[in-house]
Structures are given as C-alpha cells and as structure tokens.
C-alpha cells in the first residue's frame, strides 16, 4: 500500500514535471513569434485611420481652394511707354544709369530713348544693351538755331522738343505695325533724364484713360506745383507763374493714354511755343481741364521731383590736362 502510494506520488510528480516542462518549452517557442495583437492595438489603429481621414479631407480642401484661385488669369497690365530725350554731357551716363535702374523696378515699361545727336552714341547704346530693359533707341538732333548754346540761360530755348516728337512718331508707326487688338493699350509718359521718379507714380498713371495729372515737386521756383482738385475734378492749378496758361504743368506731371496719342496723329510739341507753353502745346489739342484725371490721392502727394543735377566743375582736370596729365580718355564716365 505504501509502495503503491509512493509510485502514485512519483507518477504525479513526473506528470507534473512533464507538464511544466512542456509549458516552459511552449512559452519559449512563443518568444520571437509575431503575436496576433489585433485586440490591444485596436484603439491605436482607429486613431491612425481617423487622422488619415482628416488629412485626406484637408488635402481635398486645399486642392479645391487652389483650383478656384488659378483660373482667375490676371489681365495684362497696360504698357507704359516712357519717352526720354537725352544729350551728351559729363553727367549723362550717371543720369541714365539712375533712371534705368529705377525703371527696372517698373513692370511693363518700354523705354524710348531719343538722343539729341546726329547719330546714336556708343555710350548710350552700351548702356541700353546692358540695362535689362525693353527699349527703343532713337536719335534726332536739335536744329542748330534751336539748340541752347554754351552760356545761354536754360530757359532761353525749349529742350528735348524734337526728341519727344521723334519718340511720338516712332510710337505711332510701331503701333500701326503691331497686329492684335491690344496694340492701342498703353500710356505715354515724358520722363526727362534728370528728374527723380517714385515707383508709385508709374502705377498711378498706368490706367490713364485720356490724360492723368499729379503734382511735381521742386519746380517753377516752388516747393511743388499741382492741379487743384475739387470733388474729383481739376478746377485750377497751383503754380507760381502764369496760372492762365492752358495747362500750367511741368512735363513730369502728366501722362497721356496711347489711344489718345494714336487717335490724334498730328498732336506734338511745338518748339516755337512761348516759354512755359510747351506742355500746353501738346495737351490743348488732346484734352480739356474738365477731362483731366487727377492721380496721387487727388493730387495731394508728390511722387516725382524736378531735380536738376549740378554741372561738375572740371578746374583741376583742365589744369592737369594742360600738363598732359589728365584723366585717361579711354575711361568712360
Ligand atoms: C524743364 C522741363 O522739366 C522740361 O520738360 C522742358 O523740356 C524744359 O524745361 C523746357 O522748357 O524745354 P529743365 O530741367 O529746364 O526742364 O530741362 P532739362 O532737364 O535740361 O532738359 C529736358 C530734357 O531734354 C532732358 O531729358 C534733357 O536730357 C533733354 N535735353 C536737354 C536735350 O535732349 N538736349 C538739350 O540740348 C538739352
Ligand atoms: Mn531737367
């Protein structure tokens, strides 16, 4: 009986040992096996798929809003044709450099440079080629009897007249040769090479219908001259001299629509106009005071200045030249 008990206990013990061992072996086999984690990963999966859904919705929204933005094609800006008379003198390259670098900041600008010279000069040609601007290079010498002579006071004869007229002639011819409906779209502005132009003035003039006007600073012996605006209309002019002139304004103070220039093929500057009547000689055939379009916040802002560059003194250069020690002529200034 005792022996049988012993045997049984031994069997139980062996069985117990065997089962534990199998359990341990099974546990060891499970190590490193991929587990079926479906149950405890459920919340994480749900979060991921929810975030994916949201991302997809956001992407859809962005795509839709961009699709609505794109088709609004901007209408092309009207081109500003800037006509600049220029003549050879010591400061010419400096003036044209400053001017060209201002124009580089203006979109849709075509620079018409008209040299007061019997031929195009290398200085201006090179400057234009390197300028990065859209340009047309012309020349038209001022007739000798109309040209200011050394020592003449600057007001004695009008300047830049034949050159601006040559610019107008080219423009009329060129536009006629351009096919398409928008060859009349544009603005014409007469920009002397020595003035100072704010970039804003070009955006002010860009949508000129007939003739737009604005103040000019430091001109006519005044801090500024300007059209006086009442209820959106020009009613008179603030000027220090002969306000009775048809258009007592400086050249820098107005722009004309290309359409108006083309519709009036004879309109040009009159070199024989009395002093101070040059601007009027062009404008009086084109527009009435009532039709002027005031710009620059109803002509309350100065955005262009009639600056004049001092003539450089060459006393020391002349003295050195007399000794054969002058500056190298091959260096372009
Ligand atoms: C003022 C006006 O601002 C000019 O628009 C106007 O032409 C001139 O008076 C005038 O009454 O004739 P102001 O500063 O006195 O201008 O003239 P400049 O700047 O010396 O000359 C006006 C433009 O003509 C300049 O672009 C200049 O380079 C050019 N110019 C001048 C010539 O092409 N040839 C010349 O012999 C002199
Ligand atoms: Mn000037």
Q: Average pLDDT for residues 129-155, to the nearest whole number?
A: 90
E strands present in the chain: 80-86, 109-115, 134-139, 187-190, 196-197, 211-213, 216-219, 222-230, 233-238, 254-257, 293-294, 304-305
Which of these ranges, 77-86, 91-100, 173-182, 323-332, has the smallest mean pLDDT?
A: 173-182
Question: For the whole model, what pTM was predicted?
Answer: 0.81
pLDDT of residue 281: 98
Q: Which residues are catalytic?
A: 279
Q: State the Cα–Cα distance between residues 227 and 206, nearest whole angstrom.
A: 19
pLDDT of residue 94: 98
Confidence of residue 171 (pLDDT cuts 50, 70, 90): very high
pLDDT of residue 214: 98
pLDDT of residue 17: 61
275's tokens: 């002093």
Cα four-point dihedral sign 160, 291, 196, 174: negative
Helix (H, G, I), strand (E, B) or coil at 131: helix
Instruction: Give the tens place of pLDDT for each residue, 240-289.
Output: 999 999 999 999 999 999 999 999 999 999 999 999 999 999 999 999 99
Regarding the beta carbon of 149 and ligand 1, being less than 6 Å apart is answered no
pLDDT at 33 over 60: no
β-strand pairing of 196-197 with 211-213: unpaired
The atom number, within ligand 1, closest to the CA of 308 reads: 14
Cα four-point dihedral sign 272, 190, 99, 174: negative
Please name the helix (run of DSSP H) or strand (run of DSSP E) that holds residue 1, with its range, or none: none
User: Whose atoms come closest to the Cα of 219: which ligand?
Assistant: 1
Helix axis angle for 122-131 and 92-103, nearest 10°, is 20
Q: Answer yes or no: are the C-beta atoms of 137 and 120 closer than 8 Å.
A: yes
β-strand pairing of 80-86 with 187-190: parallel
Confidence of residue 64 (pLDDT cuts 50, 70, 90): confident
The atom number, within ligand 1, closest to the CA of 192 reads: 26
Please name the helix (run of DSSP H) or strand (run of DSSP E) that holds residue 99, with its range, or none: helix 92-103
Q: Answer yes or no: are the C-beta atoms of 159 and 86 closer than 8 Å.
A: no
Distance 320 CA to ligand 1 centre (A): 32
Regarding the beta carbon of 192 and ligand 1, being less than 6 Å apart is answered yes
Regarding the beta carbon of 218 and ligand 1, being less than 6 Å apart is answered no
Query: Secondary structure of the chain: what % helix, strand, coil (to 5)?
Result: 45, 15, 40
Regarding the beta carbon of 195 and ligand 1, being less than 6 Å apart is answered no
**For ligand 1, atom 37: residue with the closest CA:** 159
């Amino acid at each position: 009986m005792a022996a049988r008990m012993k045997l049984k206990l031994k069997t139980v013990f062996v069985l117990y040992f065997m089962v534990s061992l199998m359990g341990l072996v099974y546990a060891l086999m499970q190590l490193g096996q991929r587990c079926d984690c479906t149950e405890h990963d459920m919340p994480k999966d749900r979060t991921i798929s929810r975030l994916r859904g949201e991302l997809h919705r956001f992407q859809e929204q962005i795509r839709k809003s961009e699709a609505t933005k794109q088709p609004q094609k901007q209408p092309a800006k009207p081109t500003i044709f800037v006509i600049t008379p220029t003549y050879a003198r010591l400061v010419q390259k400096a003036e044209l450099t400053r001017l060209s670098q201002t124009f580089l900041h203006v979109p849709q600008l075509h620079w018409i440079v008209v040299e007061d010279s019997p031929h195009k000069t290398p200085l201006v040609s090179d400057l234009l080629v390197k300028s990065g601007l859209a340009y047309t290079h012309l020349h038209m010498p001022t007739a000798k009897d109309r040209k200011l002579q050394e020592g003449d006071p600057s007001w004695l004869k009008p300047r830049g007249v034949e050159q601006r007229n040559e610019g107008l002639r080219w423009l009329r011819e060129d536009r006629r040769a351009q096919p398409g409906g928008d060859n009349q779209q544009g603005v014409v502005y007469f920009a002397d090479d020595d003035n100072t132009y704010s970039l804003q003035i070009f955006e002010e003039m860009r949508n000129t219908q007939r003739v737009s006007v604005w103040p000019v600073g430091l001109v006519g012996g005044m801090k500024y001259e300007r059209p006086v605006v009442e209820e959106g209309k020009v009613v008179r002019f603030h000027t220090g001299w002969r306000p009775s002139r048809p258009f007592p304004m400086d050249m820098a103070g107005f722009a004309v629509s290309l359409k108006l220039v083309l519709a009036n093929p004879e309109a040009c500057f009159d070199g024989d106009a009395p002093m101070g009547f040059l601007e009027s000689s062009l404008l009086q055939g084109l527009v009435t005071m009532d039709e002027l379009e005031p710009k620059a916040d109803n002509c309350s802002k100065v955005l262009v200045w009639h600056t004049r560059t001092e003539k450089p003194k060459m006393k020391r250069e002349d003295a050195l030249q007399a000794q054969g020690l002058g500056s190298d002529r091959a260096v372009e200034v």
